[in-house]
Chains A and B, each alone.
Chain A
Amino acid sequence: MNDLWNGIQQAISLTLTLDADLVEISLRSLRVTLSALFVSCLIALPLAAILAVRRFKYRRLIISTLNALMGLPPVVVGLIVYILLSRSGPFGVLGLLFTTHAMVIAQVIIITPLITSIAHQSLRELWSEYHDLLISMNTSKWQRIKTLLWDGRRALMTASLAGFGRAIGEVGAIMIVGGNIDHATRVLTTAISLETSKGDFALALALGFVLITLALAVNFTTHWLGRTEREGRW
């Protein structure tokens, strides 16, 4: 009990004094996750719009594949990325294993299906609202997609935030492909896991504060976006 209390006190002081390790790990976490989020959005958002607007041959197949990928356990994603990037794997020559790049790749694979799926759902709704009007106005396919992406931007932001939340809190996959190397691939979740197993609750708790704060910020923003949408303040 005393240990725990000491841990909390130290954690608070680590946070308030902006401890170097704490800051380094937090920034790395943000960098990895924001990179993954950026790449994912580039893929997921246009894909979601295309799936909503166009009726093409492999549409159903893509949707079921995305749903299947969404259910994939992150640890398994980590394992697969590990095999692909390991020295004997097909992409071994790139030397990406145990770098932050590998972690970005794993996170992209984990969150792209999630973002696509959430974005697709709201864009499909928007499309059913707009369909007759945009058809009547002779819009091109590209104009339709652009209109949906722009007018659905709040919903797309919400989808992206869900992806961010999933990625920042994920531990299994990035532990495997990143290796949790100090000053190289150690991020919030992997550091917490390590510090806890070492019994060093101070740093673990301080890192936990940061993670919780990020999660709360995501929740708050999501909530706020929903409110502005419903109340028509934009």
Chain B
Amino acid sequence: MFPMTACDLSVKVRQKHIIGPINLTINEGGITVLMGPNGAGKTTLIKALHGIIRLANGQVTFATPAKTAQEQQSFVFQSPIMLRRSVLENLAYPLMINGQDKQSAMERARTWATKIGLSAHMDRPAPFLSGGEKQKIALARALITSPKLLFLDEPTASLDGAATVEIEALLSEAQSTGTTIIMSTHNIGQARRMANRVLFMKDGQIDAHSAANAFFDTPPTEAAQKFIAGDIVV
């Protein structure tokens, strides 16, 4: 499926230019962390790469046909979207969408519910759980199909330290079992812990794209340098 290539990609909303033109290649494996100030276009970019918003220009291509590639991606939204169903049914949903029979889907959902520490809440309606629990469900639901590519939009933005650690552990495990990850975050510590590569965005453009070590040791651009130093980038 890899490399994923974005070619001259740009997005407009009602004639207003949001991001682009962006040229980008993502190879298999590892975690790419997307950083940048509010409104830089991080959310827009990963949604565009995932193919859930209309491109004004350019395209995103994979080594496999678009349909196959689409089936092997998952997306975790910034505020978790819970189906009005039980925790277990939320987890089983993507498997059943892919045609798996109910019994084996529920079996697998049970395994995941235990894995994310929600075995006691399996039958509770998911929309009524806490923000951290919902985020874990959203992540487990994204991982349950063993996607080749996983997008996450600020997955720990509203979580406390303990929940953040849990999410990061799940991501590391997914990464080590063959899921390529692209995530946005505002948490520089998290980026340092998780990133293999960093994509730094500013004003709808990619300002820097480099290996994580290099990015943090010698920030390649002035804006990136200020951002890491905690200065405000405008």
The interface of chain A, by Cβ under 8 A from chain B, is 126, 129-130, 132-133, 135-139, 143, 147, 151-152, 232, 234
Contact present for B97 and A130 (CB under 8 Å)? no
29 residue pairs A–B, Cβ–Cβ below 8 Å: A126-B84, A129-B81, A130-B81, A130-B83, A132-B52, A132-B75, A133-B77, A133-B81, A135-B52, A136-B50, A136-B52, A136-B74, A136-B75, A136-B77, A137-B74, A137-B93, A137-B94, A137-B97, A138-B71, A138-B97, A143-B97, A147-B83, A151-B83, A151-B84, A152-B84, A232-B124, A232-B127, A232-B128, A234-B125
Q: Binding site of A, secondary structure by majority: helix, strand, loop or mixed?
A: helix
We find that the number of chain B residues with CB closer than 8 angstroms to chain A is 18
Cβ of B85 within 8 Å of any chain A Cβ, yes or no, is yes
Cβ of B70 within 8 Å of any chain A Cβ, yes or no, is yes
Contact present for B85 and A132 (CB under 8 Å)? no
**How far apart are the CA atoms of A135 and B94 in the complex, in Å?**
12
**How far apart are the CA atoms of A147 and B124 in the complex, in Å?**
18
Known: A151-B83, A232-B128. A132 touches B97 (CB 8 A): no
Contacts of A138 in B (CB 8 A): 70-71, 97
Looking at the assembled complex, report how far the CB atom of A60 sits from the nearest CB atom of chain B, in whole angstroms. 20
Looking at the assembled complex, report how far the CB atom of A227 sits from the nearest CB atom of chain B, in whole angstroms. 14
Contact present for B81 and A151 (CB under 8 Å)? no
Contacts of B84 in A (CB 8 A): 126, 151-152
**How far apart are the CA atoms of A1 and B75 in the complex, in Å?**
72
The interface of chain B, by Cβ under 8 A from chain A, is 50, 52, 70-71, 74-75, 77, 81, 83-85, 93-94, 97, 124-125, 127-128
**How far apart are the CA atoms of A232 and B84 in the complex, in Å?**
9
Contacts of B77 in A (CB 8 A): 132-133, 136
Contacts of A139 in B (CB 8 A): 97
Contact present for A151 and B75 (CB under 8 Å)? no
**How far apart are the CA atoms of A138 and B71 in the complex, in Å?**
7
Can you name the residue of chain A whose Cβ is closest to the Cβ of B125? Answer: A232
**How far apart are the CA atoms of A147 and B81 in the complex, in Å?**
14
**How far apart are the CA atoms of A137 and B150 in the complex, in Å?**
12
Contacts of A143 in B (CB 8 A): 97
Contacts of B70 in A (CB 8 A): 138
Contacts of B128 in A (CB 8 A): 232
Contact present for A132 and B81 (CB under 8 Å)? yes
Contacts of A152 in B (CB 8 A): 84
Q: A132-B81, A133-B81 are in contact. List 16 more A-B contacts (CB 8 A).
A: A126-B84, A130-B81, A132-B52, A132-B77, A133-B77, A136-B52, A136-B75, A136-B77, A137-B93, A138-B97, A139-B97, A147-B83, A151-B83, A232-B124, A232-B127, A234-B125
Can you name the residue of chain B whose Cβ is closest to the Cβ of A229? Answer: B84
**How far apart are the CA atoms of A152 and B71 in the complex, in Å?**
26
Can you name the residue of chain A whose Cβ is closest to the Cβ of B75? Answer: A136
